């Protein structure tokens, strides 16, 4: 299966150059040519890697990187003409996985992309879970049900993931809170209730009723 890469670059000539190069090496390429909805478009597409420029119209690459990283673990390589150490440091601190300056050596760029995809492929156990027609996309924190795309927060994604992994079994509230604590999300009992109810309402709004069941005094179950 071809790895899918999205290119976020406002210079048309560089966009086309990257598309031709990467297509030649067997990658499936998506090119964005509007930049007011970059974050939404990147999250909507189920891609394996994002190539991101910093100098963009509407929102700069720093904002885009941070906004994507808040909802997805998809690998991001910043490809930019900015070459200061501060630019590189900011990119990495905001969630980028690698930083390459223009003009780039095409063979080095290809090697970095290949290495990143191999590493993330090994780290991925499953990038989605599916049950009763509902598909949880872990790399974009979204749920797909009957062609509807539902965006989830990180906490909502972890809760739904834990319930789906244990489908048919009751998952205690303590277990859910422990799962979130392990992800450095320190939540209390009330916050857990709020997050579970949000997930439930989002799924019900898409038309899947009674997907998450409450077992009084025990926990939750799918």
Per-residue pLDDT tens digits for 5-20? 999 988 889 989 999 9
Task: Give the span between the Cα atoms of 127 and 115, in whole angstroms.
Answer: 19
* Predicted local confidence at residue 126, as pLDDT: 58
Stretch(es) of the chain classified as CATH 1.10.10.10: 128-221
Domain with CATH 3.40.50.2300 in the chain: 4-123
pLDDT of residue 74: 87
Residue 186 has pLDDT above 80, yes or no: no
Q: Which among 52, 46, 38 has a CA at the least distance from the CA of 7?
A: 52
> Quick one: pLDDT at residue 16?
92
Residue that the structure tokens 């993330």 belong to = 120
Paired with 29 in beta bridges are: 5
Span 157-162, average pLDDT: 93
Q: Which fold has domain 128-221?
A: Arc Repressor Mutant, subunit A (1.10.10)
Task: State the pLDDT at residue 49.
Answer: 93
Residue 57 scores a pLDDT above 90: no
**Cα separation, 47 vs 30, whole angstroms:** 9
Residues 6 or more apart whose CB falls under 8 angstroms from that of 12 comprise 33
Say if residue 127's pLDDT is above 80. no
Residue 184: pLDDT above 60? Answer: no
**Percentage with pLDDT > 90 across the chain:** 41
pLDDT band, very low/low/confident/very high, at 122 (cuts 50, 70, 90): low
Question: In which residue are the tokens 């150059």 written?
Answer: 17
Separation CA 55–CA 58 (nearest Å): 10
pLDDT at residue 43 in the model: 85
pLDDT grade for 172, boundaries at 50, 70 and 90:
very high
Answer yes or no: are the C-beta atoms of 3 and 28 closer than 8 Å.
yes
Overall fold of domain 4-123: Rossmann fold (3.40.50)
Residue 1 has a pLDDT of: 61
Find the length of the chain: 222
Spatial contact of 5 and 48, defined as CB atoms under 8 Å apart: yes
């Amino acid at each position: 299966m071809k790895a899918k890469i999205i290119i976020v670059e406002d210079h048309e000539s560089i966009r086309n150059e990257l598309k031709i190069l990467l297509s030649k090496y067997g990658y499936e390429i998506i090119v964005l040519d509007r930049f007011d909805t970059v974050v939404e478009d990147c999250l909507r597409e189920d891609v394996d890697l994002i190539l991101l420029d910093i100098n963009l119209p509407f929102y700069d690459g720093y904002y885009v990187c941070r906004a994507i990283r808040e909802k997805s673990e998809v690998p991001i390589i910043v490809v930019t003409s900015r070459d200061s150490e501060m630019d590189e440091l900011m990119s990495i601190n905001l969630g980028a996985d690698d930083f390459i300056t223009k003009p780039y050596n095409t063979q080095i760029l290809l090697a970095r992309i290949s290495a990143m995809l191999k590493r993330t492929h090994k780290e991925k156990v499953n990038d989605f879970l599916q049950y009763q027609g509902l598909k949880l996309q872990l790399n974009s924190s979204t749920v797909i049900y009957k062609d509807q795309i539902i965006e989830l927060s990180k906490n909502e994604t972890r809760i739904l993931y834990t319930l789906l992994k244990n489908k048919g079994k009751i998952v205690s509230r303590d277990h859910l809170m422990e799962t979130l604590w392990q992800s450095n999300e320190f939540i209390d009992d009330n916050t857990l209730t709020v997050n579970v109810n949000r997930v439930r309402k989002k799924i019900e709004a898409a038309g899947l009723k009674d997907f998450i069941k409450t077992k009084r005094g025990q926990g939750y179950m799918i």
